[in-house]
A and B are shown apart, each in its own frame.
Chain A
Amino acid sequence: MLIEKEMLMAEVVYHDHNLIPIIGRFGIRMGYDDESIEELCNKHRVNIDFFLTILNVFHDSEYFPQKQMQMFPVGMLVSYLKKAHKDYLEDEIPEIKNLIGSMISECHIDKSTYLLFLNFFDEYKLELENHIYREETKVYPYVVALEKALQTGKADEATMQQMNTYPIAEYEREHENVEEKLNDLKNLMIKYLPTVDDDRLCFRILRELFALEKELNEHARIEDLILVPKVMAMEIAIKNREK
């Protein structure tokens, strides 16, 4: 289903409730009444094209954003991505960690295997944090600086230097490692972790891991499909101008 601005927000959510947190990131909270996407976006001063692009990418993994839908300023995209990062690091990851903690404390036999699992989760967490940290301190500021350089007509030296030493195409390659570790976590749990007494707890952890995986995949797709091409285009535009 292609999500369009005439649709009622409630209807969209009936269709795909996984979108609720994403809609929330735009400041549009539940209690949608019978209002359409367009009405709600206007009310909350949200760019409709941008909103629809993000929702569609999350909703349909085969959706590919059209060029004309990508006219929104890059700062808007960056602030959305940062909000998403915050959710991952402050809510979702700690929640999973808590659940793993409860699983360990409820285990009365040999805890060592579960502690290994927790260790691996911590390792994964660290890798995700590092990736996000790099994005927020290196990549995003660079992206915003590029846009400014294009608007003002002059690029500062640091931006030019980063463009030559660490262009956006480099960064694109970093997503895979994080995904692989999460996949291993799931598989270890499904296939090799000895059973504990509380099945429901295991099930909840697994469900959270699957949900996190889906979210992060779509997040990376937004970065790879929308952010990276946009930035590449800006890099080319600046390079051409400098000639």
Chain B
Amino acid sequence: MARAKRVVVIDHRFLIRAGLENLMSELREVELVKTFEGNETRLSEKVLAKKPDLVIVNPHATSQGFVNLLNNIDSETFVIGLVSNDADVSIISHFRQTIFQNSNKSELQKVFRKVLGTTGENHKKNGILSDREITVLKYVVKGYTNRQIADELFLSIHTIMTHRKNIIRKLGINTVSGLTVYALMNKLVIIPKQ
């Protein structure tokens, strides 16, 4: 299953945090994993521990300076600055994207959709297996090991493992018994007569 995009908010004002939380809850496949006030000890560590796709930070909320925080965040994570309308360029220039405190709802939604739609590499449609994946799934359900499947299909073990990972990701089902139920429900394999 494609995991929901994870969002972290850092702002010292409760109402702002609550408002953003509300907005996020209206977006599909987006999850606000944590809000911070900005004065937490070891803030960057705590933020990074959440493995966010997006961090929305008010530069004035962080006590040890947001630059420090930005330096610790890797480039895969998108950072949006939440700034006031008269914010100085020296602050704005730190961010690829900014939102303003008086932005209206549809502006904010547009920014979030754009940003969250472009971060992360997973654009594939879920739930639909390719022919190859279905073949691999059938063998998995029959109890074949990766090695055996690789031999049957003249593929490397590595390729089989990739297929398996994709199957699990697309279906959101992890165990062999769960996959078996799925395969039987969808008549990919036939129930043996009892």
Contact = CB atoms under 8 A, between A and B. Distances in A.
Given A187-B1, A188-B173, A191-B127, A181 B185 contact: no
A53 B63 CA distance: 32
Interface stretch (B54-62, B107-115, B174-182): B174-182
A193 interface: yes
A192 B174 contact: no
Nearest to B185: A113
Nearest to A117: B181
Contacts of B180: 120
B185 A192 contact: yes
Contacts of A120: 177-178, 180-181
B16 interface: no
A106 interface: no
B128 interface: no
A207 B172 CA distance: 19
Contacts of B175: 177, 180-181, 184
A119 B185 CA distance: 12
Interface residues of B, number: 16
A189 B173 CA distance: 11
B184 interface: yes
A212 B165 CA distance: 27
Contacts of A187: 1, 171-173, 178
B89 interface: no
A235 B93 CA distance: 55
Given A187-B1, A188-B178, A193 B185 contact: yes
B15 interface: no
Given A187-B1, A191-B127, A180 B182 contact: no
Contacts of B127: 191
A240 interface: no
A43 to B, nearest CB: 38
A188 B182 contact: yes
The A contact surface, by secondary structure, is helix
A116 B194 CA distance: 13
A123 interface: yes
Nearest to A193: B185
B87 interface: no
Contacts of B191: 112, 116
B185 A184 contact: no
B184 A191 contact: no
A184 B191 CA distance: 20
B185 A116 contact: yes
A182 B16 CA distance: 36
Interface string A168-204: 0000000001001101110110011110000000000
Given A120-B181, A191-B127, 16 more contacts: A116-B184, A116-B185, A116-B191, A120-B180, A123-B177, A180-B175, A184-B173, A184-B175, A184-B178, A187-B171, A187-B172, A188-B178, A188-B181, A188-B185, A192-B186, A193-B185
Which 3 A-B residue pairings sit nearest by Cβ, starting from the closest?
A184-B178, A187-B172, A180-B174
23 contacts: A112-B191, A116-B184, A116-B185, A116-B191, A123-B177, A181-B177, A184-B173, A184-B175, A184-B177, A184-B178, A187-B172, A187-B173, A187-B178, A188-B173, A188-B178, A188-B181, A188-B182, A191-B127, A191-B171, A192-B185, A192-B186, A193-B185, A194-B185
